[in-house]
Structure 1
């Protein structure tokens, strides 16, 4: 049976954007929405991302073909445990969390086994530095990569849940995303480099500037595009990034240490030819050209 009812638990930026993208791309079924902040669900309803506000998230999940968990990683972990005993084998749970290894570990034995609902971990590489349903956009996934990280213990997933997983992948593609499969550990390693590290660098730079130039309008006036781009992510919500820092600690710490060492190298070679080498390396990466032998 095709997907006809979807429950979105967490109608913030991404959850509401998913609902809007579903509607824009022809989904005609029911979309139930729930959020801990009732105002977010109300905004999602007003933007036609959902068809109904769910008063009871568990009931909404029980009545749906697909349950989308959209929120910080800790909340997704809680939902995985809370929903497992009440869902049926034909149902599918998916998510949009930024960390995957810990989700697969938590799901082990609870999903993708005989008599259990299916679980397809997902992560659209899309977002904004602002949160909330009011900032949702049905085009946010266009041109983005939507990562899927099937867990190792999925041999017992029912044919019905697997069919829904295939259909959900197709919806991600209809949104304009390119779907890519990764091992969960590999996912966390790569995302630490391409997503988590840039966020923490922006946060550190923004905090440093606030400490050093708290009320300096001249600094802001002359900063220009470089300052805006480098500090844009500094406005991201702490709640989401706290969970990422706690659940992908080793990978994030490794990237930060590597960057610290690279910055030390730059500082020590500001007046040597090695500074030129660094710029050449940076340009090679940006252009995707061949590496130095």
Structure 2
């Protein structure tokens, strides 16, 4: 049924999707568009895509399924542009890390009898750095792919069939799918994804100020330092839109962490410190 897939954004996730599709046996055509030509050329060289699209809108127009693998605000912009161009027999989907605004835009612009289908998605997989060169066919294996679909969506028969077909392709890539309310999604990822990132960013920035001119101290840190600051290598371009579109939930999580750190600081010589370690060990033993 699916013969043509367009991937708009051949960075880490877009390129990895192309590679995973091929590894799972998808035999249709895959075109790729990227704002940076070098990124598209890299994806082509890695055989994640079959051809480079020079125009994002035209690539989507010719595809059965179009995957938006670009930052969140770029996703919202493309959703607007494509809403009156795509037909009810086409599907648009995404990999955005926050889902509130994207799901609301989908309800406004798509999933109507005379519009294309839209399936909001978010694979819980990635790396601290981006770029097509880091694309990995196994990136989504044993990962969870979240969907914040509207159960009341009114799609055409073809659109509904494409949604089901895309879900099946994701399972073939090795992922497990979960459906979740968009507000709950954004609240949850603020705790399990965004808070770790901003914590690592703050710690890495602090260490750069404190020991950045003393390289030997970085060596002293060893594995603990490397593990705690790995996410500090993430570029601002990957996280700017996330911070702007999930601000309230991230603020709540950061405030809770600030309060917890204050509690630790005030109890460094008290029995409560043992309780914190026991609580932390309990969480780790169950993860």
Aligned to 2:70: 71
User: 1:35 maps to what in 2?
Assistant: 34
SS in 1 for 2:206: helix
Shift of 1:153: 5.1
Per-residue deviation, 1:220: 1.2
Tell me how far apart the structure 1 counterparts of residues 260 and 138 of structure 2 sit (CA, whole Å): 36
Q: Is the 8 A contact 1:73 1:240 kept in 2?
A: no
- Within a 5 Å distance, the mapping from 1:220-239 to structure 2 comes to 220-239=218-237
- Alignment match, 1:261: 259
Alignment RMSD: 1.1
CA contact (8 A) 1:93 1:117 kept: yes
Mapping of 1:142-291 within 5 angstroms? Answer: 142-151=141-150, 154=153, 156-288=154-286
- Whole-angstrom CA distance in 2 between matches of 1:151 and 1:63: 26
By how many angstroms is 1:214 displaced?
Answer: 1.6
Distance 2:217 2:143 in 1: 34
Contact 1:130/1:236 (<8 A) preserved: yes
> Residue by residue, what CA displacement relative to the aligned partner does 1:125-153 show, whole Å, maximum 9, x if unpaired?
00001111011110111111111110365
Count of residue pairs brought into register by the alignment: 287
- Is this contact kept in 2: 1:101–1:184, CA < 8 A? yes
Cα-to-partner distance string for 1:14-64 (whole Å, 9 max, x where unaligned): 000000000111111110100000000000001100011001111110110
* Secondary structure, aligned partner of 2:108: coil
- Using the alignment, how far apart are the partners of 1:60 and 1:153 within structure 2? 29
* Cα distance in structure 1, aligned partners of 2:187 and 2:157: 31
Could you tell me how far apart the structure 2 residues matched to 1:212 and 1:151 are?
A: 48
Aligned to 2:117: 118
Contact conserved, 1:71 with 1:240, CA < 8 A, in 2?
no
Runs of 4+ in 1 over 3 A off after TM superposition: none
Unmatched runs of 5 consecutive residues or more in structure 2: none
SS at match of 1:61: helix
Give the Cα–Cα distance (whole angstroms) in 1 for the partners of residues 57 and 213 of structure 2. 48
Structure 1: runs of 5+ lacking an equivalent: none
- Tell me the SS of whatever aligns to 1:109: helix
Instruction: Give the CA deviation at 1:107.
Output: 2.0
The TM-score, its normalising length taken from structure 2, stands at 0.98
Q: Deviations over 1:228-270 (max 9, x none)?
A: 0110001112112010000000000000000000000010011
